[in-house]
Amino acid sequence: MRRLPSKQFILIVLDSTNTSEIQLLDADLPDALPQVFLPRRRGHEYSLDHYDFTFFIRSNREGKNFGLYRTRYLDESRWETVIPARDHVVMEDFQLFRDWLVVEERQRGLTSLRQMNWHTGETSGIAFDDPTYVTWLAYNPTPRTSKLRYGYSSMTTPATLFELDMDTGERRILKQSSVKDFNPDEYKSEHHWITVTDGTEVPVSLVYNRKYYQKGQNPMLVYGYGAYGSSMDADFSVSRLSLLDRGFVYALVHVRGGGELGQQWYDGGRLLNKMNSFTDFIDVTHELVARGFGHPDRLYAMGGSAGGLLMGAVINLAPTLYHGVVAQVPFVDVLTTMLDESIPLTTGEYDE
């Protein structure tokens, strides 16, 4: 439950793995019964915002990667398309301003922010320097401003809060996480695409300490998750520095089952396609070694929860590849769990 920035409505959100429904409460009539904005139907996911007497809806009704629509009516047939759903661009979020629309998107595995002027139709993106990173829309409580706050982080940049004046293009840092004795110039991040056995290209984010990198000689820790359509973004980690400063190369493999490349990437690693998550991880590890990012006798793997399931699979499929595995709270007793509906969260796993 949350209140919309327009302050006219309170939302009650109901959702499951692949279906959602939103009910509206008039903020001035809290004792009134909620009204369903759009009844749930299997496979349809949507979210909404409200500004200037208009509802804006992010929906996958016309494409798996979501489009943006608007309407003044509780009637789906009267929706107008603002941004159509696209095959290779995922619309992850949006925010409304008096003169601007800002969209958080994901393309080729990386997030981006794009702003559109309501009056001129002019669009522009925000440029980022790192080869692999994550950016996101921050809390912007009022639409009556030209100032946008957004977050940014990379494997070599601590979490940073920016403020951008969309009218002038002026940008400033409001806050950055402080890391004692950290010098970003000592580290290097890279973004690679690796072709796996079935011909699919899998993205990989890497980081290492420049001082200790020796091609083909370093220990390498390979991390993966690949579930629920969740994206494992290449953000900053203080604890990871300890490994990098001891010569480790850290590799984040964006295996199928995650959301880095949209719904089709998620679908490619769940249900009957779940094996792809496991083989992606193994194939990428082999190729990273071939490219000199790690020594074959100094390979380690790590994953937690659903990523622990990934760990359980890879150590059985490739028992001699890794010389150590960290399985954090691993979900490995899958059959027993899925057969017991009384266990919390079990029924929500049926579509996974």
Give the rounded percent of residues in the chain with a pLDDT score beyond 90: 85
Query: Quick one: 202 and 331 in the same domain?
Result: yes
Which residues 6+ apart lie within 8 Å of 28 measured at CB? 8
Query: Please, are residues 308 and 328 in contact by the beta-carbon 8 Å criterion?
Result: yes
> Per-residue pLDDT averaged across 133-160, rounded?
96
Query: Please, are residues 346 and 327 in contact by the beta-carbon 8 Å criterion?
Result: no
Q: What is the mean pLDDT of the chain?
A: 95
Query: Quick one: 15 and 155 in the same domain?
Result: yes
Q: Is the pLDDT of residue 30 over 90?
A: no
Query: Please, are residues 159 and 235 in contact by the beta-carbon 8 Å criterion?
Result: yes
DSSP code, position 173: E
Query: Quick one: 116 and 62 in the same domain?
Result: yes
| Three-class DSSP category at 195 | strand
Query: How do strand 67-71 and strand 54-59 relate by DSSP bridges?
Result: antiparallel
Q: Is the pLDDT of residue 8 over 90?
A: no
Of 176, 200, 215, which one is at a domain's C-terminal end? 176
Of 176, 198, 231, which one is at a domain's C-terminal end? 176
DSSP code, position 293: S
Which residues 6+ apart lie within 8 Å of 7 measured at CB? 27
Query: Please, are residues 50 and 9 in contact by the beta-carbon 8 Å criterion?
Result: yes
The CATH number of whichever domain residue 152 belongs to comes to: 2.130.10.120
Query: Quick one: 257 and 137 in the same domain?
Result: no
Query: Quick one: 208 and 129 in the same domain?
Result: no
Q: Is the pLDDT of residue 101 over 90?
A: yes
Query: Quick one: 134 and 61 in the same domain?
Result: yes
Query: Quick one: 140 and 106 in the same domain?
Result: yes
Q: What is the pTM assigned to this prediction?
A: 0.92
Over residues 174-229, the pLDDT tens digits come to 999 999 999 999 999 999 999 999 999 999 999 999 999 999 999 999 999 999 99
Containing structural domain, residue 217:
184-338+345-349
Which residues 6+ apart lie within 8 Å of 80 measured at CB? 69, 70, 71
Query: Quick one: 196 and 126 in the same domain?
Result: no
